[in-house]
């Protein structure tokens, strides 16, 4: 009888059964694991060198064309991923500048939440005692989320030289949405964006009055942010100004020209560019240019500016009139018909599921329209009248017939 061992010996496979072969396999595995560790360590060192080069390019390009004009006596504080000028008078940054690069797409570092005085500011910065239990958030001017791709750059955003007091409703809501708005452009366009940010500082601002405070930190009334895509043949820029309070509108409601930010702050942006380019981009306020292909929010528009005439309301104001019959006006940026209920949904100003208001036309009311509302109303500014109800926290009006829908231009005559 031929045993399995004899058969394997005959086939020349005997080494599989030897102790020495098993030792060799284990040794081979150990060697390969050691090689993997060596390559991982080498990759880590190489990544650090690459990141260092990227950050050096960011600092170089900021200094070349991304910083506001310096005033006499001002010192630029240089951190790994951002630059700033600190206002000792107000104990917060006068302005910060950074570049949101496509590397932020791959960033996965967690928040640090370790706020520290900035050792590079010779006069000293605000400290934790100035903010703790003050009622104000420690608002990042350079968002930490823009630096999650590099630890040193991320840590730099937690210095108090990058912090300004913001009311929680601004910092956690509309301001955070604005930061996300900028990151979406970077994510979908794969282009880097120069960003300058700061509070509007002036004499006479109130300060945070805490008994245990160490510094007199001014409370700004407004904050501003400037985005600029300066690479390539078609540079563009846009500004934003927000009051330091709870805001109702989406971030694009607060878009302004860079010229407007300069008038408000006294700063001079993009002075390193040629005069024609500087003048052209500082006069821009083209929101549609900041939505790249693939962005699910592409197509959204800013709500109609309040107050509207004749007691009408925009899509953001609709939530204050639930249970009442009212007229709500806005741009129908998207429509859809549900497969089950055959209802037509008209989303105003913002795309589903981020809309602040929508109108519904149920299937049984379809014959009350001489046109197809799903098609004809798309991309038109309209006003709808009806009783405001709420579903899934979103205000809505059910439209019964075409008399309850008017073009905005006709409604305001």
pLDDT in tens, 321-378: 999 999 999 999 999 999 888 899 999 999 989 999 999 999 999 999 999 999 999 9
Strand pairing report for 92-100 and 313-314:
unpaired
What's CA 406's distance to the chain center, in Å? 35
pLDDT in tens, 113-169: 899 999 999 999 999 999 999 999 999 999 999 999 999 999 999 999 999 999 999
pLDDT of residue 257: 98
pLDDT in tens, 51-65: 999 999 999 999 999
CA distances from 25 to 16, 155, 174 (A): 10, 45, 60
If phi > 0 it is left, if psi is from -120 to 50 it is alpha, else beta; for residue 223 that is beta
278-68-249-350 Cα dihedral, nearest 10 degrees: 50
> With contact defined as beta carbons under 8 Å apart, do 79 and 153 qualify?
yes
100-106-108-109 Cα dihedral, nearest 10 degrees: -50
Question: Average pLDDT in the 392-412 region?
Answer: 96
Q: What are phi and psi of 124, to 5 degrees?
A: 90, 155
82-87, strands of its sheet edge to edge: 76-78, 82-87, 92-100, 193-199, 222-229, 236-243, 255-256
Place 21 in a pLDDT band, splitting at 50, 70 and 90. low
Q: Which residues are catalytic?
A: 140
- Domains of the chain, by residue range, sit at 60-290, 309-411
Which residue, among 291, 105, 98, 106, has the nearest Cα to 187 in the 3D structure? 105
pTM: 0.90
Burial letters 334-372, b for 16+ CB under 10 A, else e: bbeeeeeeebbbbbbbbeeeebbbbbbbeeebeeebeee
Q: What are phi and psi of 342, to 5 degrees?
A: 60, 25
pLDDT of residue 197: 98
What's the CATH fold of domain 60-290?
A: Extracellular Endonuclease; Chain A (3.40.570)
- The CATH code that applies to domain 309-411 is 2.40.50.140
Whether cis (ω within 30° of 0) applies to the bond prior to 307 is: yes
pLDDT in tens, 318-337: 999 999 999 999 999 999 99
Cα–Cα dist 315/359, whole Å: 10
- Angle between the 258-265 and 275-282 helix axes, to the nearest 10 degrees? 90
Residue with tokens 């932020």: 104
Average pLDDT in the chain: 94
Residues paired with 165 in a beta bridge: 138
If phi > 0 it is left, if psi is from -120 to 50 it is alpha, else beta; for residue 189 that is alpha
pLDDT in tens, 200-252: 999 999 999 999 999 999 999 999 999 999 999 999 999 999 999 999 999 99
């Amino acid at each position: 009888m031929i045993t399995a061992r004899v058969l394997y010996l005959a086939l020349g496979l005997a080494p599989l059964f030897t102790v020495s072969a098993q030792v060799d396999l284990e040794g081979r595995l150990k060697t390969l694991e050691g090689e993997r560790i060596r390559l991982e360590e080498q990759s880590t060192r190489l990544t650090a060198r690459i990141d260092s080069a990227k950050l050096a390019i960011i600092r170089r390009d900021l200094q070349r064309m991304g910083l506001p004009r310096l005033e006499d006596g001002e010192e630029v504080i240089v951190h790994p991923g951002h630059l700033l000028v600190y206002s000792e008078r107000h104990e917060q940054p006068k302005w910060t500048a950074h570049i949101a690069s496509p590397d932020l797409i791959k960033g996965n570092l967690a928040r640090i939440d370790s706020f520290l005085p900035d050792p590079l500011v010779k006069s000293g910065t605000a400290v934790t005692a100035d903010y703790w239990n003050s009622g104000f958030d420690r608002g990042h001017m350079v968002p930490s989320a823009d630096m999650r791709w590099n630890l040193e750059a991320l840590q730099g955003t937690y210095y108090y030289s990058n912090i300004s007091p913001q009311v929680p409703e601004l910092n956690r809501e509309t301001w955070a949405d604005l930061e996300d708005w900028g990151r979406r452009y970077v994510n979908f366009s794969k282009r880097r964006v120069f960003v300058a940010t700061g509070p509007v500082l002036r004499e006479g601002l109130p300060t945070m009055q805490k008994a245990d405070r160490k510094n007199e930190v001014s409370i700004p009334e407004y904050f501003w942010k400037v985005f600029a895509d300066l690479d390539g043949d078609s540079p563009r820029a846009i500004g934003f100004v927000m009051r330091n309070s709870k805001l109702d509108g989406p971030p694009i409601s607060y878009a302004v020209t860079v010229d407007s930010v300069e008038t408000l702050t006294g700063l001079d942006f993009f002075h390193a560019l040629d005069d024609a380019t500087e003048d052209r981009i500082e006069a821009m306020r083209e929101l549609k240019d900041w939505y790249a292909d693939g962005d699910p929010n592409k197509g959204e528009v800013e709500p109609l500016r309040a107050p509207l005439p004749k007691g009408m309301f925009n899509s953001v104001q609709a939530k204050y009139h639930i249970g009442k019959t009212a007229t709500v006006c806005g741009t129908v940026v998207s429509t859809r018909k549900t497969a089950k209920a055959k209802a037509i949904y008209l989303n105003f100003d913002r795309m589903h599921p981020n809309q602040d208001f929508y109108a519904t036309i149920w299937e049984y009311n379809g014959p009350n329209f001489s046109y197809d509302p799903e098609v004809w109303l798309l991309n038109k500014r309209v006003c709808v009248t009806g009783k405001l109800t709420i579903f899934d926290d979103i205000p809505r009006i059910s439209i019964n017939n075409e008399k309850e829908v008017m073009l905005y231009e006709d409604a305001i005559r």
